[in-house]
Structure 1
Amino acid sequence: MRIAFLGTPDFAVTCLAELVASGHEIACVYSQPPAPRGRGQDLKPSPVHAFAEGLGLPVRTPVSMKTAEEIEAFKALDLDAAVVVAFGQILVSDVLDAPVHGCFNLHASLLPRWRGAAPIQRAIMAGDPVTGVQVMRMSEGLDEGPILMSEQVVIAADDTAATLHDKLAAVGARLLPVALAAIERSAARETPQAEAGVTYAKKIKSAEARIDWTRPAAEVDRHIRGLSPFPGAWFEAPSERGLVRVKALLSRVEDAGGPPGQALDDALLIACGEGAVRLLKAQREGKGAQDAEVFTRGFPIPAGTILA
């Protein structure tokens, strides 16, 4: 089919690559405008933008899809369908209705649970045992459309937002071509979402990244893994130069106890309100991520240290 692809982050790149490999004609790729990235904060294209340009695909990066100019440009593409994967903008009805078959979204949760911006992180942080990916027909409501295809994915005890992201992206990339084939031959079955169990995956805010050691170890562990690698759950550790911010990037729960925030040994076992977490990977300011053994050689946190 002749389709437009709308997406922005790495999660969407995997899906675009699969659609190209499946032989669909990509009439245009839409992505968020270039944004400041890296230490120099230079304007750089999104992962989808850069990938599409590398394939020679036409790319548009509108600040808003709601302007008359962008709506007319979208209609002029004469599309069979449009595929949306983590694009980052709300689409109005004039855009949704423009393609012959409509617009379809790949969402990284089992709707109606975790509608919204951060379903992968929120699923881990909430302790969900499973999540999934779904292809849905888009409506004007936030992730409210009927479901065409769905596949569950187990959330492992050591999954981080990064590892679960990769699992879901791979599954989603496999689902999309199958869904589009069904749509093309008018064989797709659409199931309305359940009215019960609606939750919203609010965008992750930096203010919630600080670790609260008074919480139970299971919650602290999920908090760490759900925010890894970005923005990274963090704490402050004392040093000769004062407090140093450290990101905890991987952890596991262990059966130990002590005052919340106290290091219980020299290998990053930290007491929580109930139980303790063993930090397996960490990153201090200005340094790269390191396994615990390497981290403690360069920045010891001996038993008895109190973390803030």
Structure 2
Amino acid sequence: MGTPDFAVPALRALHAAGHEIAAVYSQPPRPAGRGQNVRPQPVHAEAERLGLPVRTPLRLKRDEAAWEAFRVLDLDAAVVAAYGLILPRPMLDAPRRGCLNIHASLLPRWRGASPIQAAVLAGDPESGVTIMQMEEGLDTGPMLDRRAVPIQADTTASTLHDALAALGARMILDVLARAPEAVPQPDAGVTYAPRLDRNDGRLDWSEPAIALDQRIRAMTPWPGAFTLLDGTPLKIMRAAPERVPGAAGGRAGEVLASGRDGLLVRCGEGALRIEQLQLPGRAVLDAASFLRGRPLPPGTLLGC
């Protein structure tokens, strides 16, 4: 049971390992891409490629027919990874070994919808995957396995997503084989990662450069970090914080230097060297190439 790219490696691993997959559940096809053509979700598309039956209910709450259709599958276990629909109690109780969730965080830190982005945004030194026995609470179930992955200075939500998706696929095979004893989550250290929207990518230049770098990496690839240039959104794809003598005391968002080495922008603390950026409808460019076509001399103010 899964929907986005994050769940595809687990589906492939279960299939390759020879598990009998009675059904694949995914959210319904939706419009996507520039043409907004209706497309199956990544897990749906992969299941069809593997020749597996797919079910795409729009909702499960109070749908007793859907509960019964799930129950009669006579499952040993249900593997859930970023499915996106809440499973009601009758479905949680139906498989003999319950519903096992591949969650992209080191629970109980970052329960909720966007744990990968939240870990990068907060500057956490590590993230990881927890295999959890699902219950009705939001990511509150007991843990069956938990493994960490370091977050490096250049880690983005995209690279962390791929690492955790691969790790989760390996872990679920191990959990199904070993059937480890479930361990309750600790009461301390609970944090929540809310669902993101596009405005979460907007840069506030009054923040420290380190925090802005974390936001850029956390919002890559979606919703994307951006500032405003003469009222036009300017997407920041890659940057690095720097300590610059004399950077303090001026206006946050002011261009300090521009040229071959990128675009240096004053922050609330330190400065951010922008290395890669993009205007709407244009290609992604390194800063030097961008500046040849759109000079931003020192004193230019971003964010307005």
Fold match by TM threshold 0.5: yes
1:203 and 1:303 mapped to 2: Cα distance?
Answer: 37
Report the equivalent of 2:243: 255
| Deviation readout 1:188-242 (Å, 9 max, x if unpaired) | 121100001111100012222211001111111111111011111111113xxxx
Q: Quick one: distance in 2 between partners of 1:43 and 1:231?
A: 21
The answer to whether 1:130 aligns with 2:126 is yes
Aligned equivalent of 2:212? 220
Identity across matched positions, percent: 53
- Out of 23, 27, 31, the residue aligned to residue 32 of structure 1 is 27
The alignment status of 1:14 with 2:9, answered yes or no, reads: yes
Letter paired with 1:305 = T
1:298 and 1:75 map into 2 onto residues whose CA distance is: 61
Tell me what 1:290 maps to: 285
Q: Tell me if the contact between 2:200 and 2:223 (Cα under 8 Å) persists in the aligned partners.
A: no
Aligned to 2:98: 102
Q: Is the 8 A contact 2:206 2:253 kept in 1?
A: yes
1:196 is the counterpart of 2:180:
no
Shift of 1:291: 2.8
Q: Distance in 2 between matches of 1:293 and 1:73?
A: 58
Q: 1:21 to 1:294 in 2, by over 3 A?
A: farther
Question: Cα distance, 1:292 vs. partner?
Answer: 2.6
Indicate if the aligned counterparts of 1:8 and 1:86 stay in contact, CA closer than 8 A: yes
Q: Following the alignment from structure 1 to structure 2, what is the Cα–Cα distance between the partners of residues 108 and 289?
A: 29
Question: Which runs of 5 or more residues in structure 1 are unaligned?
Answer: 1-5
Q: Could you tell me how far 1:134 is from its partner in structure 2?
A: 0.8
Which residue in 1 is equivalent to 2:154? 158
Q: Which residue of 2 aligns with 1:113?
A: 109
Matched, 1:207 2:199: yes
Distance 2:177 2:293 in 1: 54
Q: 1:275 to 1:101 in 2, by over 3 A?
A: same
SS where residue 229 of structure 2 aligns?
A: strand
2:49 is aligned with 1:54 = yes
Cα deviation, residue 298, structure 1: 3.4
> Structure 1 residues 164-173 or 137-146, which shifts more?
164-173
Structure 2 segments unaligned to the other structure (5+ residues): none
AA paired with 2:222?
F
- The answer for the alignment partner of 2:135 in structure 1 is 139
Aligned residue for 1:26, secondary structure, equals coil
Alignment partner for residue 76 of structure 2, among 75, 80, 83?
Answer: 80
Q: In structure 2, what is the equivalent of residue 246 of structure 1?
A: 234
Cα pair 1:135 1:147 within 8 Å, conserved = yes
Looking at structure 2, the residues matched to 288 and 25 of structure 1 have their Cα atoms a distance apart, in angstroms, of 45
Aligned-pair distance for 1:302?
2.8
8 Å contact from structure 1 (residues 160, 250) kept in 2: no
Q: Report the Cα distance in structure 2 between the residues aligned to 1:290 and 1:19, rounded to whole angstroms.
A: 40
1:123 to partner: Cα distance: 0.6
TM-score (norm 1): 0.93
Aligned length: 295
Whole-angstrom distance in 2 between the partners of 1:176 and 1:272:
43
- Secondary structure of the corresponding residue to residue 264 of structure 1: strand
Question: TM-score, normalization: structure 2?
Answer: 0.94
Q: Is the 8 A contact 1:82 1:103 kept in 2?
A: yes
Shift of 1:290: 2.8
Alpha carbons of structure 1 residues 225 and 95: separation in structure 2 relative to 1, 3 Å: same
Counterpart mapping for 1:269-288 below 5 A = 269-288=264-283
Q: 1:171 aligns to what?
A: 167
The one-letter code of the counterpart of 2:69 is A
Secondary structure of the corresponding residue to residue 268 of structure 1: strand
When the two chains are superposed, the root-mean-square deviation of aligned CA atoms in Å is 1.2
Using the alignment, how far apart are the partners of 2:276 and 2:165 within structure 1? 24
Partners of 1:161 and 1:43 in 2: CA distance: 26
* 1:125 Cα deviation after fit: 0.6
Alignment pair present for 1:237 and 2:229: yes
